[in-house]
Structure 1
């Protein structure tokens, strides 16, 4: 019996997967996208804790991993998100927000990203620029700005953020299970998401429900076809004082990779 669930076979290593099922291990994908496995190496039960055992294992021996994923065309398992965070678009397309957000945050210009799409027709995104990285770009290119808000609103900044999103869309197009979850519209937030404002946890994790409530007008603007939206936001200053900032945010459309491919084929 193996204690491993998956392995990367010699000569078949893929950096974006966890490999293929190990010897004598069965893996299946549940209806909600969760990865489940069964093998002779699975533990029998939690000691004197049948409730915990029932939550972790089914009666016929399948173990819950809590992770969502799928098999690629080579039979490799790709983990994309926690199962509880995976949702679907209105057309049934899998939507894995953290997976998309992590791809965006790979770019040094992007400090944070929040994507939306659950029970929607398409995916949209909020983007937080990285002040240091984008500020360095502005200095090198003699681009003047007086504040984070002004820097984030510059058309040139929108241009290269759009370029990053196009690259992410191209990557998503390569995954048949995720190609329908490409980002179609985005905006660059006028302030950094902050734990003091309740937008992040103290460990810098996105608080999705709070952001969805606080920035509901922006989300609705992303899905209503508007090209800009005004908002006033309460902020917490370093000394603990409360204040507010107002901004008129630009919303941009992004052509998805599938549309580009279709046009090239014509």
Structure 2
């Protein structure tokens, strides 16, 4: 029999966890002739029998991360039958957690990968919201799940970021009477667009506070009631022209406005 040690890493998921554990363990030895063979997505008894049949002819051991009890039982029985050392890298930790949490495990393979995928989708959505914030690039409107439109200080950016954490790709477009809106806004479905409006008195207060923060005088046109009413009227007419839902955000927290938007998305699916 070959003196080389072959470590079979068997998993009902991708098998990366088992392989990393084996590599970490091997690093503690002067193992000049060790080989790791990974067998991911093992879901049938026949696959296990094939691997055992290969392993029995070599100097080998098995490390496995299998959460399906029936497959785990077969693997342990067959490995013992052929005097192959088989190390269960998952069950002792799962059983310890089961006792500590007083909760039954799901015994469903691939859950960590699903969690990772969800995480990366969230990061992608956040990066999207930053890239297509404040009308920076109108090409993003066609790629977005939702497009928020509204005049300045109607919570477009905070809502975009909040929804991004829900894995939703959001672009937003500021509405200014003197600035022509991008053509893309009329080339996408109005069901994807959400109009944001607010109470003019509340908006006046917000804009005055904004001017103070910037060290500017309150008399600036940006915070004047005439200007605000003009902008709101322009935005309302545009939203009606598009035919999109309109949400009044003046008395709503970001979470509440986001909940309404999520309900609209759900209804449109």
* TM-score normalised to structure 1 length: 0.26
Structure showing the higher helix proportion among its residues:
2
Structure showing the higher strand proportion among its residues:
1
